[in-house]
Structure 1
Amino acid sequence: MTTPEREDGCLLIIGGDEQRKCRERILARFVELAGGPERNFVLLTSASQEPEEMARPYQEALARLGVKQCGIVHTESREQANDPVLADRLCHADGILITGGDQKRLMAVIGGTAVDRALHEALKRRCACLAGTSAGASAMAGHMLASGFAEFAPEKGAAALGAGLGFVQHIIIDQHFSQRHRINRLLSLIAQNPYLYGLGIDEDTALVVERGVGIEVIGDGGVTFIDGRKMITNAADIGEGEQAELIGIGLHVLPAGSGYLLPGAQPSARLGHVGREAPSPIQEFISNLTKRNPLS
């Protein structure tokens, strides 16, 4: 894939447990989207309390892919996250990967700080590729899935939202989706927040989002879209822990290899072979994913 002339950054939203030892397809795509192995890469490890252990396999995998410059930015406190030197390193990166850990920790440490602003600046001004995996993926949304679990059915109060980084809006992102049977958790949130879309990403799977253009699913699994805008639900009337009734909810599943353009968008080098216009049931979903946020 040739490096496109970039007008805006792109997002790589990874469901977690991506291959880092052999078939490094997702990380190879990350390198391509950032402009090639000669570019400047940074790992943001603030979601983890073990940054070196978290970063090492990524640095090794990226080195195998030819990357020479791959630094680490780690912040233990909001004071550190307001360090202009650390923020500047992110501002000048071409590829940034927000690693896994705890998304609540990540947001508590960097939310609203210079590091947070630098991520938006890199995406908008430097046209960087911003990737997030596992907890880093959930935090990429404006409404972040913060906690919770629903094992057998959607339940009121089974999961909670928090504020995220806001690279995509009106969407809740969940990760390790099929492997950890998280559809009921996401449905629980959609039942109480029908104005939001649900996005579940499987392990070793990623969604490439080119802002203003379209999307592509890569890896071994799939991506699940949930649309509750037209559903009928009793979520407002039942008690905490009770199962919710959901009627008329939209469910769309895109396996790896799927990809769609927004209506009128031109095929893009970043999106590989994608040349199909999105069907109407998911056009608005894709439009939200690819919208250029005024913050970034």
Structure 2
Amino acid sequence: MRVLCASLVSFVVLVSHAAEAPPKGNLLIAGGAVRADNADVWGRLVELAGGKGARIAVMPSAAGNPLRSGAGLVAILNKYGAQAFAVPVAVRLKGRDYTRDAEDETLAKSIREAGGVYFSGGDQGLITKALVRPDGSRTAVLQAIWDVYQKGGVIGGSSAGAAIMSSTMYYEAKTVLGTLSVGVNDGQELAPGLGFVGKDLFVDQHLLARGRFARMLPAMLKKGYKQGLGIDENTAIIINGKREVEVVGYQGALLLDLSLASTNSQEKDFNLSNARISYLDHGDRYNLLTRQYTPSADKAGGKLDPASPFLNEQVYSADMLGHNTVLVMMEKLINNARDTAIGIATAAPGDPREDLGFEFKLTRDAESVGYESATADAYTILNLRMDVRPLKITRPWYQ
């Protein structure tokens, strides 16, 4: 799968592209597995592209079957009022030369005249291989996509199409625990993305469904990111030019803040102190620059009173990286008389370090705030402290 390692150094040129004016458009970044009936996500994409009749270019470059994926996405977008069309630039598109198609000025012109561009899921490495020249510069098609964003259009993507939004993306990633156990390296687990979201924010996807919040941490530390957003499945975040984030769709997104975090260099295994973790629910808004939170309409007036907690119970999990586990623990902790929660993650057979596990400690302190929905069993949780330390795992003495 090393489709971009040969050009790794040159891809840095892409991320460091010549200075441009701040884009006037919006990003719609979905965490993967967006259902066809998710009107919140698809409807907003069409709206941001210009509303009913908006032209949206579908980029199936990441898909295993680009022809099928492109046609399916076009049909979905047209159902919600768009006039979508598939762009045939994909490494795996049979009978075509993607290097020639990526430089086709007719294709580039059709994209430039659209109100939005949408990247399918699949293998994010195939997107950068198809759209970035070997010297790291933008192909004609990629430049046209940037032009859409610069002039005020929307750039969207799901799963692989979300990964490429960052200037750094996961590529050949190990298991979540594996990334903590042995670290991440440029050209292996990490590779340059297309950078639509800028250089100051790391984005990851399939977050809660696959417990990926933990793998964001070594990547963010390695590349110097202070903020990271991990989006769950069937959910999207919208980021505008003012760096305001809005959550739409089924669930929400985790916000990681490492501004005040530190590591113990004397400890050889991964560790982290004083990271901050927040959960933004659907309908919530958050400004990445000012760190100001605006609750969804159903949470207005729903700020929790820490002096009157609903629960008084221990919060613990032996499967911290399980499906939705971190969110369940955060929800229990924010409305609890107790101020700490402990989650454990241990290696599976075949992981690179079967003797290594990790303890995740969540702490509710004076900076932590919670909001509760008046209409559903839903919370927003802001600024829990998170500390991670390694554990030595002893295997059974018998075979």
With the shorter chain as reference, the TM-score category is 0.7 to 0.9
Shift of residue 78, structure 1, vs aligned partner: 2.6
In 2: Cα distance, 1:46 partner to 1:170 partner:
26
Aligned CA distance change for structure 1 residues 235 and 161 (closer, same or farther; 3 Å): farther
1:177 and 1:200 in contact (8 A); partners too: yes
Q: Deviations over 1:38-65 (max 9, x none)?
A: 1211101111231122123322222222
Partner residue, 1:291: none
Query: How do 1:191-206 and structure 2 match up within 5 A?
Result: 191-206=221-236
For 1:32 and 1:46, the matched residues in 2 are separated by: 24
- Contact persistence 2:46–2:81 (CA under 8 A): no
Taking CA–CA contacts closer than 8 Å with sequence separation of 6 or more, which of the two structures ends up with the larger relative contact order? 1
By how many angstroms is 1:92 displaced?
Answer: 0.9
Identity over aligned pairs, percent:
30
Question: Would you say the 8 A contact 1:191–1:235 is kept in 2?
Answer: no
Q: Which runs of 5+ in 2 are unaligned?
A: 1-22, 92-97, 133-137, 291-295, 301-366, 369-399
Contact preservation (8 Å) 1:230, 1:248: yes
Q: Is the 8 A contact 1:24 1:61 kept in 2?
A: no
| Counterparts in 2 of 1:209 and 1:107: CA distance versus 1, 3 Å | same
- Of the three residues 41, 59, 68, the one matched with 1:44 is 59
**Aligned residue among 163, 172, 194 for 1:165:** 194
Matches of residues 235-274 of structure 1 in structure 2 within 5 Å? 238=268, 243-261=269-287
Q: Name 1:141's counterpart in structure 2.
A: 166
2-side partners of 1:73 and 1:58: how far apart? 11
Q: Against the structure 1 CA distance between its residues 31 and 236, is the aligned structure 2 distance closer, same or farther, given a 3 Å change threshold?
A: farther
User: Which residue of the other structure, out of 240, 256, 259, is the alignment partner of 1:229?
Assistant: 259
User: Of residues 1, 5, 8 in structure 1, which corresponds to 2:24?
Assistant: 8
Deviations 1:247-270 (A, max 9, x none): 111212111111135789xxxxxx
Aligned-pair CA distance for 1:82: 1.5
8 Å contact kept, 1:19–1:204: yes
Task: Give the direction of change, closer, same or farther, for the CA distance of 1:183–1:261 in structure 2 (3 Å limit).
Answer: closer
Greater than 6 Å deviation, 4+ residue runs: none
Give me the whole-angstrom Cα distance separating, in 1, the residues matched to 2:289 and 2:229. Answer: 21
SS in 2 for 1:147: coil
Matches within 5 A, 1:63-212: 63-67=78-82, 69-75=83-89, 76=91, 77-111=98-132, 112-125=138-151, 127-152=152-177, 154-158=180-184, 160-168=189-197, 169-212=199-242
Paired residues of 1:16 and 1:205 also in contact (CA < 8 A): yes
The code of the aligned residue for 2:143 comes to: R
In 1, are the aligned partners of 2:202 and 2:225 still within 8 Å (CA)? Answer: no
CA contact (8 A) 1:19 1:26 kept: no
Residues 88-144 of structure 1 show CA distances to partners (whole Å, capped at 9, x for unaligned) of 11111102111111111111110221121111111112x111111110111011122
Whole-angstrom distance in 2 between the partners of 1:23 and 1:63: 14
Distance 2:48 2:280 in 1: 21
Matched residues, number = 256
Measure how far apart 1:156 and its partner are.
Answer: 3.7
For 1:232 and 1:213, how far apart are their aligned partners in 2?
26
Once the two structures are superposed, residues 10-59 of structure 1 have per-residue CA deviations (whole angstroms, 9 ceiling, x without a partner) of 11011111121x34321011111111121211101111231122123322
Structure 1 residues 223-250: Cα deviation after superposition (integer angstroms, max 9, x where no partner): 1111223222247973xxxx40111112
TM-score for both structures, normalised by structure 1: 0.78
Q: Give the secondary-structure state (helix, strand or coil) at the position aligned to 1:155.
A: helix
Distance in 2 (CA, whole Å) between partners of 1:104 and 1:147 is: 9
Q: Distance in 2 between matches of 1:78 and 1:46?
A: 12
Offset, 1:173 = 1.2
> How many angstroms apart in 2 are the aligned matches of 1:200 and 1:161?
16
2:191 alignment partner, SS class: strand
The answer to whether structure 1 residue 60 and structure 2 residue 75 are counterparts is yes
